[in-house]
Amino acid sequence: MYQIGRNYYKPSEPVEIPQYKLSLWPGFAISVSHFESKLLFNADVNYKVLRNETVLEFMTDLCLRTDMSCFTETCHKQLVGLIVLTRYNNKTYRIDDIDWSVKPTHAFQKRDGSETTYVDYYKQQYDITLSDLNQPVLVSLLKRRRNDNSEPQMVHLIPELCFLTGLTSQATSDFRLMKAVAEETRLSPMGRQQQLARLADDIQRNQVTRFELETWGLHFGSQLSLTGRVVPSEKILLQDHTCQPAFAADWSKDMRSCKVLSSEPLNTWLIVCCSRAEHLIESFLSCLRRVGGSTGFSVGHPKIIKVDENPAAFLRAIQLHVNPDVQLVMCILPSNQKNYYDSIKRYLSSDCPVPSQCVLTRTLNKQGMMLSVATKIAMQMTCKLGGELWAVEIPLKSLMVVGIDICRDALSKDVAVVGFVASINSRITRWFSRCVLQRTAADIADCLKVCMTGALNKWYKHNHDLPARIIAYRDGVGNGQLKAVLEYEVPQLLSSVTECGSDARSCRLSVVVVRKRCLLRLFAESGHTLQNPPLGTVVDSEATRPEYDFYLTSQTANRGTVSPTYYNVIYDDNALKPDHMQRLTFKLCHLYYNWQNPGCSKTCSSTPASAPEFWTTQQSCLIFY
């Protein structure tokens, strides 16, 4: 196996998907850490997605589809920030720039001080003959080691030898492509466990590895077996109905026939579309009104605006027709090209704040699914107008829930967006939100005092009192940053609370770090086979650390393996019992309004993390559109 980044892969055993020019390298993500009472070896099956397309081939194809006057600019936009793999040494690099002035025939200085051209270097070193001598070079700045203040080392790469990794946003929206990838990578619990057992067996059989472990006084023990527990399923509260979905936590059918908690009537709104989508509008509106009648969402007739099929035409129509009375703008887009969505969202989120709803023409073409499509769109529109779809029982009174996340742009690593949301009512269905741009290399927020003060003021305006408890969920924090969050972010939250006056002195704060991507997988034993753990499974011993932490399985999967979410309570003034903190967190996983039914490639039910974390992640990432 070869190490690429932090993981290990087998390039000698690729899984080919020729119809999409993709290769999957099987491998493993591995870590060794000290948990409650012992050192644990943690591994999971991992795949490296490679495109069987070099950067040079990508640039050539782009050249054929792009005006030459803007070719270099388009190349820069499309390539900078992507990760490429050079197969001659199985290393990955991030593209930081393209140097059009340097060609493969140019000379460079080697480490021994001698000079050679790129053409000669690759021929002598790797027996590779470069075919295009006019291609530019890619520039990659190698990461500096921790506590290394020296200038980052610049590396030149030849596009012809660089293979693109990962999937583009266009590829991930291709259902057939993602299905083909999932068929190769989605492993059942039994299949995953067999591969992991084979890895452990290979390590123990390897004499060199065994000798190295013995040198350190280490050896492999048995596979960890532990006892978890399942928290009770949640009741979903609607206006005129209460449902308690069992195993799969699927209440999508209830949403089609039951009234939502609250909604605002949609009277003044726009639909912007191109001519070829016009014939779909009436049938869509008919389904939308039908759904609205069942759910209590009143939908008036919109003003329909026809435009040419280009992003600029959509934007001009919006700028011309949006006025202070418009409640919502719906755009029926001809394709999922990023520039359509980006320009519309940028204008209606920042320049002229008005709720917006984007729908693809091909989505409305699915006549057999129109009622389902209309239901989902009606739910989203209800939320954007300030409505509440459903709630769960929250035993804690006067509780504010906060979500915090930081998103960083792939092209501007020195710019980050802090996303902040906070509930402002006791049902945790209405939210205050704020985004703040900050320039910092570290993923630590320095604007939380301002955000928290705004949230407390909004809560006071809504409830005429301050919350008795605040529980903040902080996403995107690695183990190495926990101390910084505790010493720098938590004091900001505490300071904003204490400065709100004497009423806030009794307000208690807890901070929970959330990690949605974790190596650990949980399997439930069922006779002689393994299954996914039941929805609501909690593990808070043996596989956890000595601190106050737990794993929660808050999704189900008909195929593949579910991933638990890791929660680490790093600050706790509320002194809730662990079971109560776990139960509350599970409740919050039901409050992300986009998911009330099976979806995604895993057939997910309730969300894999709490609702505040999803709001903040989407909110902060949206700023970069």
- Look at residue 540 and give its three-state secondary structure: coil
Same domain, 331 and 406: no
Report how far residue 197's alpha carbon sits from residue 203's, in angstroms, rounded to the nearest whole number: 10
Q: Are residues 341 and 438 in the same domain?
A: no
- Give the Cα separation of 391 and 235 in Å (integer): 8
Nearest to 315 by CA among 336, 337, 339: 339
Measured CA to CA, the distance from residue 513 to residue 566 in angstroms comes to 8
Q: Is 455 found in the same domain as 315?
A: no
Phi-psi category of residue 53: left, alpha or beta, with phi > 0 → left and psi -120 to 50 → alpha: beta
Asked whether residue 173 is domain-assigned, the answer is: yes
The reply to whether 368 and 403 lie within a common domain is: no
What is the C-alpha to C-alpha distance for residues 55 and 43, in angstroms, rounded to an integer? 32
In a shared domain, residues 108 and 18? yes
Do 310 and 459 belong to one domain? no
> In this structure, is residue 390 part of a structural domain?
no
pLDDT, residue 597, reads 38
Question: How large is the angle between the packed helices 55-65 and 71-79, nearest 10 degrees?
Answer: 140
Tens-digit pLDDT profile for residues 286-315: 999 999 999 999 999 999 999 999 999 999
Residue 618's pLDDT is what?
58
Q: How far apart are the first and last CA of the chain?
A: 38
Question: Are 337 and 407 members of one domain?
Answer: no
Q: What are 11-59's pLDDT values in tens digits?
A: 999 999 999 999 999 999 999 888 877 888 999 999 999 999 999 999 9
Q: How far apart are CA 128 and CA 82, in angstroms?
A: 24
Domain limit, last residue, from 155, 185, 215: 185
The CATH number assigned to the domain holding 355 equals 3.40.50.2300
Q: In one letter, which amino acid is 368?
A: G
Same domain, 539 and 564: yes
168 found inside a domain: yes
Residue 615 lies in a domain: yes
Out of 384, 417, 450, pick the residue that ends a domain.
384
CATH code at position 7: 2.170.260.10
Distance CA 91, CA 246 (A): 47
In a domain, 571, yes or no: yes
552 and 516 in a common domain: yes
* 306 in any annotated domain: yes
Asked if the structure places residue 245 within a domain, the reply is no
Could you tell me if 364 and 403 lie in one domain?
no
How confident is the model at residue 504, as a pLDDT? 54
Mean pLDDT by 10 residues, the chain (625 residues): 90 93 94 83 93 94 88 92 93 94 94 92 95 96 68 91 89 89 92 92 89 88 87 90 74 84 96 91 94 93 95 95 96 89 91 94 88 92 94 94 86 81 95 88 88 96 94 90 93 91 75 92 89 93 88 88 94 94 94 61 43 57 50
Please tell me the distance from the alpha carbon of residue 169 to that of residue 589, in angstroms, as a whole number: 26
Please indicate, yes or no, whether residues 543 and 578 belong to a single structural domain of this protein: yes
- Domain span including residue 464: 399-622
Count structural domains, the chain. Answer: 3
Q: Are residues 275 and 357 in the same domain?
A: yes
Question: How long a stretch of residues is the chain?
Answer: 625
In a domain, 207, yes or no: no
Kindly report the CATH number assigned to the domain that includes residue 491: 3.30.420.10
What is the reported pTM? 0.87
DSSP 8-state secondary structure symbol assigned to residue 503: G
SS3 of 325-378:
CCCEEEEEECCCCHHHHHHHHHHHHHHCCCCEEEEEHHHHCCHHHHHHHHHHHH
Q: What are phi and psi of 60, to 5 degrees?
A: -65, -45
Tokens 């079971």 -> residue: 579
Whether the Cβ atoms of residue 474 and residue 486 lie closer than 8 Å to each other:
no
In angstroms and rounded to an integer, the radius of gyration of the C-alpha atoms of the chain is: 27
- The Cα 214–Cα 594 span in angstroms is 51
Q: Where are the alpha helices (DSSP H) in 406-484?
A: 448-463, 482-484
Look-up: residue for tokens 């492509």?
A: 177
Q: Return the DSSP state at 422.
A: E
Structure tokens at 126: 């790797």
The backbone torsions φ and ψ at residue 289, rounded to the nearest 5 degrees and listed phi first, read: -70, -35
185, 219, 240 — which closes off a domain?
A: 185
What's the confidence (pLDDT) of residue 501?
65
